[in-house]
Amino acid sequence: MARKCKGCGAVLQSENEAVPGFIPKSVLEDDTKKDIICKRCFRIKNYGSYEPVDITDEDYLKEVKKVVTESNVVLFIIDLIDFDSSMDKVLLDIVRTRPIIAAVNKIDLLPDKKHPSEIANWVKKRFAEYNIIPFDIAILSVKDDYGVNGIVRKLSYLFPDGAKAAVVGVTNVGKSSLINGIIGGKSKVTVSKYPGTTLKALSVAHPDKNHIFIDTPGLIPKGRVSDMVCEECNLKLVPSKEISRKTFKIKAGKVLMLGGLVNIQIINTGEVLPIFQAFAAKDVTFHQTNEIRAAELIERKAGEFVMPPCEKCRDVFYERKFEKRRFTVNEGEELFFKGLGWISVRRGPLEVEVILPEGMEAVVREALVAPKKY
């Protein structure tokens, strides 16, 4: 049987360095070496380098479908901070007929500490919008080892003879991290901040329970602005530390820039000023200005003022077409920008005209971080 890379699941080969799974012939033919990883995984693990590969969405989806069909439960992993990107319709359609445990990860990044049951209720309602009722909802911070053992206990209860769990989700939600958290030990799958690290399905057995976890390649979802910038900016938009939150009370005509990625112009006409909070990774500049100055900044590609995009990728980024969209966001609702963050309305309604790159998706949703009731 062909040997597979323990990091990304690609079949190991020593013919072509440009193809996934490459390792030098001497290593491949050395039978004494067990858990070998390919050159690409070695570089990601040891040097943190970005190693893109050419694999189509169709290849990914085929692999995911196969794994889901062969499993008896799906762990659908979601990044709480980029929730609406994680709820990718293509992936949800693949898993919707299977028993699903929704695993909501990265709660450590939320600045407002919320009770897990509150988050779970919100998640349940969000799944209902897609006509899916998950079997169970697990709230996690794999990074802080919170909730990881709970998933194993749950599987042991539901599948006393052993679960075959497909671990599914878009890129960067923490699939590989969760599997490593569950199995512990040394032989780990490759975790990286770069999308598309896991290339092929990769089975990992739990050390003492009879469960098998299958890490699947992540799909890069539609509409995420973090996938439209360079790798360095992408890393900045996928936060590793608690995200920032800032409150704004801005007059009509003024603009809030979320980095140089999105301009939010307030167009309220009433007497009462709307109040809202913006949430995004710490490296995203919140810049308040007026319409003319905001347009000038974009025109001048003023990278150092409003980041991301950075110096390196801003020329390419601003070559895109931009579009204007209007939104009315009521108190208790949020305007969510995929791959970036959200604004949460404290006193509304907030009426805005948003300029965003074509292809980036924005949605109005019920607030995850709702205004406090006094």
List Cα–Cα distances, 133 to 101, 331, 366, in angstroms: 10, 27, 18
For position 193 contacting ligand GDP by CB under 6 A, the verdict is: yes
Residue with Cβ nearer ligand GDP (28 or 220)? 220
User: Which residues does residue 334 pair with via DSSP β-bridges, in sequence order?
Assistant: 344, 365
For position 173 contacting ligand GDP by CB under 6 A, the verdict is: yes
Tokens of 302: 């003023």
Residues 6+ apart with CB under 8 A from 111: 242, 243, 244, 245, 279
Helices (H) and strands (E) in the chain — how many of each?
11, 16
For position 370 contacting ligand GDP by CB under 6 A, the verdict is: no
Rounded CA-CA distance 261/269 in Å is: 25
Residue with Cβ nearer ligand GDP (132 or 191)? 191
Integer Rg of the chain from CA:
22
Cβ of residue 354: shortest distance to ligand GDP, in angstroms?
27
Binding mask 54-93 for ligand GDP (x = CB under 6 A): ----------------------------------------
Residue with Cβ nearer ligand GDP (114 or 293)? 114
289: exposed, middle or buried (C-beta count within 10 Å: 0-12, 13-18, 19+)? Answer: middle
For position 176 contacting ligand GDP by CB under 6 A, the verdict is: yes
Q: 200 with 11: CB under 8 angstroms?
A: yes
Residue with Cβ nearer ligand GDP (188 or 314)? 188
For position 263 contacting ligand GDP by CB under 6 A, the verdict is: no
Contacting range for ligand GDP; rule: CB under 6 A; set: 5-13, 95-103, 168-176, 246-254: 168-176
Interface with ligand GDP (CB under 6 A), residue from 175, 188, 200, 287:
175
Contacting range for ligand GDP; rule: CB under 6 A; set: 41-49, 175-183, 224-232, 364-372: 175-183
Beta strands in the chain (DSSP E): 73-79, 100-105, 136-139, 164-168, 202-205, 212-215, 244-249, 254-258, 262-266, 275-280, 286-290, 322-329, 333-337, 341-347, 350-357, 362-366
Cα distance from N-terminal residue to C-terminal residue, the chain:
64
Cβ of residue 239: shortest distance to ligand GDP, in angstroms?
7
Cβ of residue 62: shortest distance to ligand GDP, in angstroms?
18
Cβ of residue 321: shortest distance to ligand GDP, in angstroms?
29
Residues 6+ apart with CB under 8 A from 13: 19, 21, 22, 23, 28
Residue with Cβ nearer ligand GDP (108 or 331)? 108
Interface with ligand GDP (CB under 6 A), residue from 7, 20, 134, 174:
174
Provide the residue type at 97 as one letter. T
Contacting range for ligand GDP; rule: CB under 6 A; set: 50-58, 185-193, 226-234, 349-357: 185-193
For position 96 contacting ligand GDP by CB under 6 A, the verdict is: no
Residues 6+ apart with CB under 8 A from 152: 182, 206, 209, 211
Binding mask 126-165 for ligand GDP (x = CB under 6 A): ---------------xxx----------------------
Rounded CA-CA distance 357/230 in Å is: 15
Residues 199-258 that bind ligand GDP (CB under 6 A): 218, 240
CA 195 to chain centre: 9
Binding mask 102-121 for ligand GDP (x = CB under 6 A): ---xx-xx------------
Contacting range for ligand GDP; rule: CB under 6 A; set: 62-70, 101-109, 303-311, 360-368: 101-109
Size of the residue set binding ligand GDP (CB under 6 A): 22
Tokens of 42: 């070695």
Q: 368 with 83: CB under 8 angstroms?
A: yes
For position 169 contacting ligand GDP by CB under 6 A, the verdict is: yes
Interface with ligand GDP (CB under 6 A), residue from 71, 171, 234, 263:
171
Site residues, ligand GDP (CB under 6 A): 105-106, 108-109, 141-143, 169, 171-177, 191-193, 197-198, 218, 240
